[in-house]
Each structure stands twice: as C-alpha cells, then as structure tokens.
Amino acid sequence: MKSNHFTRNLMGATALMLAGTSGAFAFDPAPRWCEGVTIAAFPGGPQGGVFANNVYNGFRQAELDLGPKVTYYFSDWDPNKMLTQMQQAVATGVDGIATYGFAGEDATGPVVQQAYDQGIIFTTLNTALRASQEKYGPQGFGFVGAPNYDAGHALAAEAAKRTGLKEGDEVFVWGLKGQGGDRGQRTVGVLDAFTEAGAKIIYQEIDAATNADPNAGTATFVGVMGANPGIKIVVTDHGGLTANVGVYAQAAGLEPGEVYFAGFDMSPNTAQAIENGYQSLVIDQQPFLQGYLPILNICLTKKYGFSGLDINTAGAFVDKTNVAAVAPLAAIEVR
C-alpha cells in the first residue's frame, strides 16, 4: 500500500509539473516560416555569371526553404549600378536588403541609414561595411563572407610558399586595388604578402570591361605576359577571371604548370582548369552560403528580432589533390 501511495503521489507531481511548464513548449516549428517577408537580393554580377550564380543559387534555396518573396538585382559587378539599385530597393519599401558593400562606406552609409529609418533590414555579403554593421548590428545588420584582406594575404602567402618564391622573383597581380572600401582590401592583402616575400610585383587593375566580361581581358593578359616572360606566379583577384585562366594561358602560349596560377572562387571552368593543370591554387569562399545566410539573417531579424549574423565563409584551398571532391558541386554551382 505504501508503494502504491508513493506511485500516486509521483504521478500527480509529474502531471502538475507538465501542466506548469507546458507554456515553455508553445513555439511550434513550421515550414516556410518567413512567408510574407519581402527581400531585395543582389547576386552581384551579370545574370548567370561566375560567382554571382553561386550566390543566386543560395538566395533561391533560402527563398524556397524559408518562404520570403525575393526580388533579384543583377549589377554586372558595377559598384555605381549596384548603389543605384540599392536606392531603388529602398524606395520599394521591402522588409530587407541583402547586398555587397562594393561602393564603400562613404557612398553606401547614407543608403543604409535611410533603410533603417524606414524599418528596412540591411545586411551585407562578401564585402563588409563595418561602420554600418557596428551601428546597426543589433537591428539586424550582419555580414556573411570571407574577411577580404586576410583571404588575399593567405592566398598569396600560400602561393609563395608552394612555389619557393625567392626575393626578386616576378609575380603578376591582376586585381581591384582601386575599388573602394573592403573589396579593394583583398588585392591589398595579396600585394602585402608578395611584398613581404620580396617579390617584384607587376600590377594590373581590372578594367570595367574585364570586370563585366573576363574574355575582354585576354589581350591584356597576353600583353603583360609577353612583356614580362619571367613571371612565376599569377594571381587573379576575381572569380570570373579565375574561371578564365585556361583561356588566358592558352592565348599566351603557356603550357599547363608553366606559370603558377592562384585565384579566388570555384566554378565549373576553374575545376576543369585545375584538372588540366593550368590553375594551381584556389580559395573557395563558399559563395552559396553568401546567398543563403543573408536571407536567413533577414528572416530571423524580421520574425524574431535577432541581431545580425557575422559569419566567415572562408573555406579551404582547392588544388589538384582535392578538386575531385569539389568538382561535382562546382558543376551545379553550389561550390
């Protein structure tokens, strides 16, 4: 009898406990929980372009998974065009904007302020706007991408190490040092690492035509290589140019492996160039995540009041030893 009495008391206490705590489990997970939220998303480059398409695929997957209505703005890697499109997006009164910080803090900061004044969540991918992020982080401003200076420095330092670069050896850096804000810092990181190694640097700014269409730079590449036949390493600080390395090398009459090519971002062509021996080293900064996670950031802030995410998507180096694992994903523009 005593044990029955104990059992009844225990069951009663358990029932009271469950009744008293049932409110703690009131949250009900739901599919497409971000439906009704409107977002302007910027893949960055031309529609279907290298890197831009990986970001776009991440955006689309997040749109499908989470349920917001997303409007896409393709900017041809033109900071001024992107800035104008941001202003247009703010004027439409969307709930959130996910974009690059290419135009820099001075130009983009007023647009960010206008967005938050109107209750629009503004967040960045790939290229940071750190002053705006510091100011508006609690209201949802985040960053998803690879820290640009660090990524540039790491790639050049690794290329120098792998090639046994010596003082006075020639390297060619094809970059965007002149682009404002955080984006230019990736090229600066490359240049600093080669300077530290004592290399002789031949630098070429990527012009607007080549920025939009890498094929437009073929003659430039052939000219630089012809004028400087001692170049040991080439760094292409642009996903589209990195994807075009096979074209550049063949146009310049280079054999696979004759020059050490290092660059940024995987693509189907880049994977092929690695397999064919033209491309030697690539940093994969996982641009699919740079699309998916900013949409998630905006949804979390809009629905639940979370502060902005700050996520480093820098992955690992890809070369001939591991490209086979990445190539199938590069082929469908996820990696």
**What are the structure tokens assigned to 219, written together?**
């003659």
**What are the structure tokens assigned to 215, written together?**
């094929």
Contact between residue 95 and residue 298 where contact means Cβ atoms under 8 Å apart: yes
Q: What is the DSSP string of 46-78?
A: STT-TTHHHHHHHHHHHHHHH--EEEE---TT-
Within a domain: residue 30? no
The pLDDT value recorded for residue 62 is 98
The three-class DSSP label of residue 97 is strand
Mean pLDDT throughout 139-158? Answer: 96
**What are the structure tokens assigned to 157, written together?**
């330092």
192 and 111 assigned to the same domain: no
120 and 138 assigned to the same domain: yes
261 and 290 assigned to the same domain: no
Within a domain: residue 326? no
The pLDDT value recorded for residue 23 is 53
The edge-to-edge listing of strands for the beta sheet with 170-175 is 200-205, 170-175, 231-236, 260-264, 279-283, 317-318
158 and 268 assigned to the same domain: yes
Tell which of 244, 267, 283 closes a domain.
Answer: 283
Mean pLDDT throughout 67-82? Answer: 96
The pLDDT value recorded for residue 1 is 44
Mean pLDDT throughout 160-169? Answer: 97
User: Backbone phi, then psi, for 154, in 5-degree steps?
Assistant: -65, -40
47 and 142 assigned to the same domain: yes
Q: How many residues does the chain have?
A: 335
Q: How many CB atoms lie within 10 A of CB 205?
A: 16
The pLDDT value recorded for residue 181 is 81
Within a domain: residue 3? no
115 and 178 assigned to the same domain: no
C-alpha 18/C-alpha 238 separation (Å) is: 58
Within a domain: residue 17? no
C-alpha 149/C-alpha 285 separation (Å) is: 13
Q: Does the pLDDT value for residue 150 go beyond 50?
A: yes
Within a domain: residue 57? yes
Summarised one tens digit per residue, pLDDT across range 204-221 is: 999 999 998 999 999 999
Within a domain: residue 11? no
**What are the structure tokens assigned to 182, written together?**
């955080």
> Which has more confidence, 4 or 328?
328
Q: Does the pLDDT value for residue 9 go beyond 50?
A: no
261 and 293 assigned to the same domain: no
The pLDDT value recorded for residue 17 is 46
Q: Does the pLDDT value for residue 16 go beyond 50?
A: no
Question: Which pLDDT band holds residue 324 (cuts at 50, 70, 90)?
Answer: very high
Strands 279-283 and 317-318, by their bridges, are antiparallel
Task: Specify the residue for token string 């960053």.
Answer: 143
Mean pLDDT throughout 259-263? Answer: 98
The pLDDT value recorded for residue 179 is 85
Within a domain: residue 248? yes
CATH (domain of 85): 3.40.50.2300
89 and 159 assigned to the same domain: no
Q: Does the pLDDT value for residue 32 go beyond 60?
A: yes
Ranges 3-17, 174-188, 285-299, most confident: 285-299
The pLDDT value recorded for residue 15 is 45
Within a domain: residue 29? no
The pLDDT value recorded for residue 295 is 98
Summarised one tens digit per residue, pLDDT across range 78-102 is: 999 999 999 999 999 999 999 999 9
Mean pLDDT throughout 15-34? Answer: 69
User: Which domain covers residue 125, as residue numbers?
Assistant: 38-146+286-314
C-alpha 210/C-alpha 229 separation (Å) is: 22
The mean of the pLDDT values for the chain is: 92
162 and 275 assigned to the same domain: yes
Kindly give the residue spans of alpha helices, DSSP state H, lying in the chain: 2-21, 52-66, 79-92, 104-117, 130-136, 148-163, 184-196, 208-212, 218-227, 239-243, 245-251, 268-276, 287-304, 323-331
210 and 279 assigned to the same domain: yes
Report the domain count for the chain. Answer: 2
State what percent of residues in the chain have pLDDT above 70.
93
